[in-house]
Amino acid sequence: MQRASAQDVLAIRGGRPIRPTFLPFHRPSIDESDERGLTETLRSGWLTTGAKTKAFEKTLAAYVGAAHCIGLNSCTAALHLALDAVGVSAGDEVITTPMTFAATANVICHRGARPVFVDVEADTQNIDATLIEAAITPRTRAILPVDFAGQPADMDAVNAIAAKHGLPVIEDAAHSIGAEYKGVRVGSIADLTAFSFYATKNITSGEGGALTTNNDDWAERIQMMSLHGISRDAWKRYTDAGYRHWDIIYPGYKYNMFDLQASLLLTQFKRIEMFWARRRSITARLSAGLAEVPEIATLAERPFVTHAYHLFPIVIETEQLRADRDTIMSALQAENIGIGVHYRAVHLHPYYRSLGFERGMFPRAEHYSDRTLSLPFFPGMSDADVDDVVAGVKKVIAYYRR
């Protein structure tokens, strides 16, 4: 490991990068069991929704302790169908957080409804439950918290407010598969929980998603709406059970998970605890390495959660530096350290500004939005990679220190 000091010339200014090869922000963990499973599925003669999808749904439902799991082609689809199932429609309002990915807010708009943002807790970037009640109006139809970076939102508080007002809670658990809140696993805490298996998520099929719920009626509706709104189990229509006519009950969507996705998820799922353990140890090593950098803060971890450790975001207190976040980001990239941004607050994007949102409305999310970047973080990183990240951050921060 190179010793970083203020004298080191930044790579962005012609110096030698902290490492010779580029460390990506994320690299999925794919092994031979994934390849064997995929090959088996490819050779089975059944590629679309079938036995593997059903097996994965059963596996995930059992893992999270939910009565139902519906495999889908994305978390975006899952969130969209969850809003449909609870009856969110034109003119309604859904309460959510501005510190999330585009999908969370966009799906509310897909229903013709209006997102009502509530500011976040400064130290976790999860929705501040103490601000939710003031945002409830007669048009509110659902509450949509996000488990930011893998840490469950304050679900007891969210659920209590929802129960008081008779509102369903839809949890965006794209970051938090495997996480627990007060001993209860994410997937059976909210009324509906949406998971993502996008390429960067904790287990992945490249693209993919799922919904879990204990509500039989919603599960049935979601199953139907995920495949054209045609009658139940329509995916069986070409099996040896004999051809069966199907009926269109509603104009549904094309959101079903298919067996190649499910195959990858089944083999990935077998390593979920191993991935988690590695994510936790990388988190500890990064946190220890960066603890001595006063200009950098990390998010708090609540004592009553089991964190899913999806991301390692940092907050750069740029007031103490001669550079803004984007400059730091470019400098790190030049040092061969890949980075991501999770996220620039949703309400500051052009479309949401066009709905009337503006800077100043959600100061904690905005402070974070302007200063955050996410460091490389995936189970396949070596300890030497982690040390390079720490050294790279120290080198860049030292250079721009006032």
Ligand X SMILES: *Cc1c(COP(=O)(O)O)cnc(C)c1O
Among 369, 401, 385, 149, smallest CA distance to 293 is for 401
Q: Which of 100, 126, 372, 374 binds ligand X (CB under 6 A)?
A: 100
Stretches 13-21, 99-107, 135-143, 245-253: which one binds ligand X (CB under 6 A)?
99-107
101 binds ligand X, rule: CB under 6 A: yes
The phi, psi pair for 72, rounded to 5°, reads -135, 175
The tokens describing 36, both together, are 């064997």
Stretches 73-81, 163-171, 262-270, 394-402: which one binds ligand X (CB under 6 A)?
73-81
Specify the DSSP class assigned to residue 12: G
The tokens describing 136, both together, are 């409830």
Look up 201 and say whether it is catalytic. Answer: yes
Q: Which of residues 307-336 bind ligand X (CB under 6 A)?
A: none
Shortest Å distance, C-beta 2 to ligand X: 33
Q: Using the minimum distance from each CB to ligand X, give the nearer residue, 196 or 226.
A: 196
196 binds ligand X, rule: CB under 6 A: yes
198 binds ligand X, rule: CB under 6 A: yes
Q: Using the minimum distance from each CB to ligand X, give the nearer residue, 168 or 209.
A: 209
Stretches 171-179, 217-225, 290-298, 370-378: which one binds ligand X (CB under 6 A)?
171-179
Contacting residues for 315 by C-beta, under 8 A, at least 6 apart: 296, 297, 298, 299, 368, 371, 372
Considering 52, 54, 58, 201, which one is annotated as catalytic?
A: 201
Contacting residues for 308 by C-beta, under 8 A, at least 6 apart: 147, 150, 151, 175, 176, 177, 178, 179, 186, 202, 276, 279
Contacting residues for 349 by C-beta, under 8 A, at least 6 apart: 102
Give the β-pairing of 68-72 and 209-213: antiparallel
75 binds ligand X, rule: CB under 6 A: yes
What is the rounded CA–CA span in Å between residue 249 and residue 83? 18
- Please work out the total of residues on this chain that contact ligand X, with binding judged by CB under 6 A: 14
Q: Which of 81, 83, 103, 105 binds ligand X (CB under 6 A)?
A: 103
The phi, psi pair for 372, rounded to 5°, reads -95, 150
Shortest Å distance, C-beta 243 to ligand X: 33
Q: Contact 187/195 with Cβ under 8 angstroms?
A: yes
Strand partners, 184: 181
Among 248, 213, 217, 214, smallest CA distance to 234 is for 248
Q: Which of 41, 49, 53, 76 binds ligand X (CB under 6 A)?
A: 76
172 binds ligand X, rule: CB under 6 A: yes
Q: Which of residues 10-29 bind ligand X (CB under 6 A)?
A: none
209 binds ligand X, rule: CB under 6 A: yes
Q: Which of 68, 175, 347, 395 binds ligand X (CB under 6 A)?
A: 175
Q: Using the minimum distance from each CB to ligand X, give the nearer residue, 272 or 398.
A: 272
CA distances 58 to 54, 63, 66, 368, 383, Å, are 6, 9, 10, 38, 35
74 binds ligand X, rule: CB under 6 A: yes
174 binds ligand X, rule: CB under 6 A: yes
What is the rounded CA–CA span in Å between residue 95 and residue 128? 11
Shortest Å distance, C-beta 146 to ligand X: 5
193 binds ligand X, rule: CB under 6 A: no
**Sites of contact with ligand X (CB under 6 A):** 74-76, 100-101, 103-104, 146, 172, 174-175, 196, 198, 209
- What residues are annotated to the active site? 201
